[in-house]
Structure 1
């Protein structure tokens, strides 16, 4: 099991980092008391290969020995990585001012500046054990997300997965689409007796569409649109982008176009999947 403990001062970006890890397939637990870490790990070790927990100043034990014990009581084969995220005092002060959130130590009636210094002191035992550190002072949300993703996966592995999904409007819109394009305006093989029972993956139907200028134009314009914007989704640290192509029944036009787009983007820097929702209808 890969175990990552995300910690750091409030406002530095722990929640963002944990969200990235969840998108990368980690089982995530937010604000776990560190003394419960061994119990959690033993409970899920057979279910999950990757686990991430966030720990903030409210979840730390009163005695440093309890922190050491919590880490020592983990199974021998688990070597936790500790990600410590921090920002400068001035940046944290600005972020709290902009969001008007209360600092976790505000219940002790400490001024914000003093609360940040006290938090730094309390987190020092975890900071000393940090496997990797990120200073988020000058990072945007996307830049912080990208650093976490690249560290976990490696730059080459963190490719955007683009899913081209065909569907039939008569059966409803798929709930997980990021984009939906309507192909019902295109010539329909359903009205050709020799093609009606076939699908968009059959050679005869493909030949029919290849002779239709409107279909060629439709695909070309979609391709141009996606070539322009997919790199931006990649840089924004998206894990998946699902593009729906719909026609009436999801058998001919949408299937053909999804297949064509899948082929055209397969050799680029994205991972491409083609799915046909109505394949079994």
Structure 2
């Protein structure tokens, strides 16, 4: 294609990007130690063109260059992190410029618990880039403050606390298939309130209003995945009504996600310890959500197995 054809009105959409091909852009960011490099490597292994440590102000330029490359580079992932100078001042401005230019993009924000991040830095025997002369935790706290606005605007927040390298790679590959992100992927996660809220939850349901099987001696050793506990929980007053109304209330939310091009959400279901009620109810919510159109559902139990 000639330079004249590239710049002709018939071949552009007014943004400097050829109308016949628009690159798919994914911005990978998040906490240091949360797995950005692992996510980038997994995408690169599945056909994405990955650029690491790119200054935020170059995102629009890079997208235009890759778009002109045509179908040879259909999917672009850019890793933006603390190594990029002026991250806090420039990233939100750059995202706004991308939107104004008509560039479609998603932001994947990788996160993990402070204790997990500290352990990862200690195991790697390296300092946090922001800790200076202080502790690793001081650097993590400063980074969270720096990235809080970006995290709030992310399309996908993925908690990697309980994932190893292979588990994270698999999560990223499942999120981004050959044709791009799935229509709408839901993870219904049970958890125990006494272990803290899941950091990546979009919605949190509290099922502690149901009778606790923990106080039934013959049920205490079992979990919500066992038939006797499940039947006990579902037979409790209000359980079936809650399931029906909660899933019904989520339907317009999920439709809105699809309209807004949001492809991933975590629905957390909590009880006291994350062993009985939340597990049984999360399984039931998953089954009902899986019957909705254009939705794929996975179920995870964050705290199952803890004492």
TM-score w.r.t. structure 2 length?
A: 0.47
Question: Matched residues in 1 for 2:205 and 2:26: separation?
Answer: 31
- Structure 1 residues 20 and 260 mapped into 2: Cα distance closer, same or farther (>3 Å)? farther
Alignment RMSD (CA, Å): 4.3
Checking the alignment, whether the CA contact within 8 Å between 1:18 and 1:52 is kept in structure 2 is no
Superposition pairs for residues 11-30 of structure 1, below 5 Å?
12=15, 20-22=25-27
Tell me by how many angstroms 1:52 deviates.
4.7
- Say yes or no: does 1:254 pair with 2:284: no
- Structure 1 residues 13 and 220 mapped into 2: Cα distance closer, same or farther (>3 Å)? farther
- Structure 1 residues 56 and 229 mapped into 2: Cα distance closer, same or farther (>3 Å)? closer
Tell me by how many angstroms 1:240 deviates.
1.1
Q: 154, 170, 186: which one pairs with 2:210? A: 186
- Of structures 1 and 2, the one scoring higher in RCO (CA 8 A, sep 6+) is 1
SS at match of 2:44: coil
Question: Matched residues in 1 for 2:200 and 2:238: separation?
Answer: 28
Q: 24, 40, 44: which one pairs with 1:48? A: 44
Aligned residues: 177
Gaps of 5+ in 2: 1-11, 29-39, 77-92, 107-176
Checking the alignment, whether the CA contact within 8 Å between 1:145 and 1:237 is kept in structure 2 is no
Question: Matched residues in 1 for 2:75 and 2:227: separation?
Answer: 54
Question: Matched residues in 2 for 1:235 and 1:247: separation?
Answer: 32
Alignment correspondent of 1:275: 300
Checking the alignment, whether the CA contact within 8 Å between 2:24 and 2:74 is kept in structure 1 is no
Question: Matched residues in 2 for 1:193 and 1:276: separation?
Answer: 22
Tell me by how many angstroms 1:162 deviates.
0.5
Deviations 1:77-134 (A, max 9, x none): x943599xxxxxxxxxxxxxxxx99xx9xxxxxxxxxxxxxxxxxxxxxxxxxxxxxx
Gaps of 5+ in 1: 1-8, 24-43, 60-66, 72-77, 84-99, 105-135, 147-151
TM-score w.r.t. structure 1 length?
A: 0.51
